[in-house]
Amino acid sequence: MLKIAVANEKGGVAKTTTAASLGAALAETGKKVLLIDLDAQANLTLALGFDPRTISYSNANLLMNAIPVGQIIQSTPFKNLYLLPSNPQMGLAEQFLPIHQGYEFFLRNTLSSLQSSFDYAVIDCPPYLGAVTTNAFAAADVLLIPTQAEYFSIYALQSLMNKVKQTREQINPQLTYRLLLTLFDKRNKIHRILREQLHKNFPTGMFETIINIDTKLRESAIAGSPVIYHASRSRSAVQYRALAQEIIQYVEETKALQPA
């Protein structure tokens, strides 16, 4: 199982949209995918049509109370797509996780028990670099960083890169990262200039796929259905399918490099 954490401190960069859409695009290829909502706002849970207020057990119970993961996983209406949901109790996890020794590895240990059950886990992180995000980074193989071609979004990458460095040094030396350019408007000159700057600063750290602005993404969130299903022929659906193929290719290349 490849574990992908989707994170950025900057809000409004299509983080949750990317987690839902990528997960759905991977599931569409026949891969079994587990989506993990670690944000107390529970937007990923909402994006899959669930009401967080009616969820009895969430990832908060998983991290704080050691509730068995099998009691928390939800089947979704979409083939091959499963959810570890969030609800407002996730805010408590941020406060109380650090009082436990080895709390950084709670999620990693849980996912190790599911290693043979899923092909991919996509983890939607909260928009801050606290204890819950540390759990995600410790568990992940790849950090996917959605970012806009906007000054404030790019500026926010500095602290995130520091967090990646710290994670590699202290808890997860194998963590890799890739930037995904989102909400891109090719008609906008500033967007084009900043895209080139990002490629210059991260020559091997960016996905080839770019996610353009698309109103269908907003519609899909309201509908409680990832854009892959809500508007399967839309530009954004095509682009997230391309991103899924990049991820699948990455897995194949990584396997090829491993010793027999």
Place of tokens 């699948």: 248
pLDDT attached to residue 132: 93
pLDDT of residue 62: 87
Name the DSSP letter for residue 67.
Answer: -
What is the chain's pLDDT, residue by residue, as a tens digit (260 residues)? 999 999 998 788 889 999 999 999 999 999 999 999 999 999 999 999 999 988 888 998 888 887 889 889 999 999 999 999 999 888 888 888 888 888 899 999 999 989 889 999 999 999 888 999 999 999 999 999 999 877 777 777 888 999 999 999 999 999 999 999 998 878 888 788 888 888 888 878 889 999 998 888 888 888 888 999 988 899 999 999 999 999 998 888 776 555 54
pLDDT at 256: 58
In CATH, the architecture of 2-257 is 3-Layer(aba) Sandwich (3.40)
Beta strands in 85-205 (DSSP E): 120-124, 142-147, 176-184
pLDDT value of residue 170: 94
Q: Which amino acid is at 232?
A: S
Torsion of CA 46, 81, 37, 119, to 10 degrees: -170
Predicted pLDDT at 218: 84
- The pTM (predicted TM-score) of the whole model is 0.92
Report the distance separating Cα 115 and Cα 105, nearest Å: 15
Structure confidence at residue 250 (pLDDT): 83
pLDDT at residue 10 in the model: 79
The pLDDT value given to residue 136? 96
**Type of residue numbered 12:** G
Assigned token pair, 95: 């406060």
Task: Indicate the DSSP class of residue 42.
Answer: -
